[in-house]
Structure 1
Amino acid sequence: MFRTVTLIFAIVFLCFSHEVSFGQIQTEKDSQQLTIKNTVSLYYKSLGEQSGIYRGTGYIGYPYQVSNGHQFFESPDFSKGTIFYDGMLYQDIPMWYDLVKDQIVVQSLDSLSMISLHNERIDYFSLFGHDFKKISQDSSNSNSLTTGFYDHIYSGKTEVLVRRYKGTLEDVSPEGIFTKILKQKNEIYLKKEGKYYSVASSGSVVKALGNHQKEVLSQLKKNNVKFKKDPEKATVMMVMYYDQLSN
């Protein structure tokens, strides 16, 4: 692992030195960063199966054929994402997020199989434009969240996080037993001054915020946003406005 990291830094340093020696100006910084990114990506590909991102276990589906829905976040098809895994940042990785098992799955190099990554080695990942960070439960703190990946949909003075998950149900029919994937559920949390609050209504949001309650609620009315119709949008709007008023 040490040799791998050393070699990557050596490649990046050579690329950087090459650009500087030719007097690159400010407007060419983006080109330089792209060069470094491509160099590192080529290095990962050259490693093949030795690359850390491909070290996991074979992805195991479900005991019965899925008859309804799918277990993944957003789409049953993979999307290229970014993941910080085992101390390394990997970009443009074909991956899925299994919401039933709370498991990150990547496509193997042969494009024929899938690999489940080890959750304990994942710090964060981005997929479909969403930024998920791992939170580990603190057994000594009753206010701590359950260990898992949380979608950070707003990060300001006050944070808004969402825990996304799906459940399963065994569906027995004359044709046999099938697995039915239930509708996705989303639990919204606020993080304010180091404490977490579960929110499920506009009333619970303003209660957690404490101050500027009337102003925050009026912001929803002003923009004609209904909490029941779009709870995540409403929560972000309320918290963002609260942060502005607090500043």
Structure 2
Amino acid sequence: MKKLQKKSLYLILFGILLNTHVIYCQTSNEISTYNWFDKNIGVESLDFENGPAHLNFDRTISNHNRYYISQDFIKGNIRYNDQEYYDLLLNYDTYSDELILKPYGEFNTTKINLIRNNISSFKIGTEKFINFKKLNSTIFRKGYYEEFPAGNNVVLYIKHYKDKKKNSKEEIDLIEFIPKHEFIILKEGKFYPANDKKEIIALFPDSKRKINDFYLTYRNLKKDNTPLFMKNLLKYINN
């Protein structure tokens, strides 16, 4: 009887939560309510926990891994089956293009590859990623792209991925992951590749001189951190 009453209470609270979400825009109080609901019902009951286990047997050279930043999980949000989930422990495997969830807290070793087709977007730290499922695969890679609004209704999308190769310099073969990036610009409702200076100038011909000057001034940044270079360039010519 107590279980039935408890379940009924959860259903009532869930109904209140849905009504609140429809009537009001997202607030910090709303996020806290979602978190309370998820915590008290149990993370194991949520519908995003239905993917395969994430396994990693890589033996890598120092400071190399398959992940977006590091092997550490950090707090983030996801939109899964049109439902928002907040303050989850996430990581992004950029080699296999998988979003990974650690569902039971930082001290648990369980890791799950979330089903990609059910994910619309996610946020790790301050970076937001969009799942492009229907991009023209002959021009662009499908999958997750970091989204960066650059101003003037221009959006930069960055595909983070890694190539893997064996490193045989050691006594045993170790794996080396090489970070790679591809860039797309959304302008006037259309997607354009933006992987070299000529493509960018073609999109912003009135800013040709500014683009050339930026490439000359920040060539070291382009070499060391190409995504940051592209973000700063697009902000520079669109603000």
Using the size of structure 2 for normalisation, the TM-score is 0.76
Deviations 1:128-177 (A, max 9, x none): 321110112345x865x221101112343222111101122245588555
Partner in structure 2 of residue 74 of structure 1: 69
Q: Where in structure 2 are there 5+ consecutive unaligned residues?
A: 1-9
Partner in structure 2 of residue 40 of structure 1: 34
Partner in structure 1 of residue 208 of structure 2: 213
1:90 and 2:85 equivalent?
Answer: yes
Q: Where in structure 1 are there 5+ consecutive unaligned residues?
A: 18-28
Count the aligned residue pairs. Answer: 223
Equivalent runs, 1:13-32 vs 2, <5 Å: none
1:125 and 2:137 equivalent?
Answer: no
CA contact (8 A) 1:83 1:89 kept: yes
1:225 and 2:222 equivalent?
Answer: no
- Letter in structure 2 aligned against 1:127: I
Q: Secondary structure at the match of 1:167?
A: strand
Deviations 1:41-97 (A, max 9, x none): 1111122211123222111224x5344411111121100111111221111100110
Cα-Cα RMSD: 3.5
Q: Secondary structure at the match of 1:181?
A: strand
Question: Which of 65, 68, 74 is the equivalent residue of 2:59?
Answer: 65
Partner in structure 1 of residue 98 of structure 2: 103
1:159 and 2:155 equivalent?
Answer: yes
- Letter in structure 1 aligned against 2:128: D
Q: Distance in 2 between matches of 1:94 and 1:14?
A: 26
- Letter in structure 2 aligned against 1:225: Y
1:8 and 2:14 equivalent?
Answer: yes
Give aligned-pair identity as a percent. Answer: 18
Deviations 1:169-227 (A, max 9, x none): 2455885554x131211222222233333333434321232333224444x289x4336
Q: Secondary structure at the match of 2:193?
A: strand
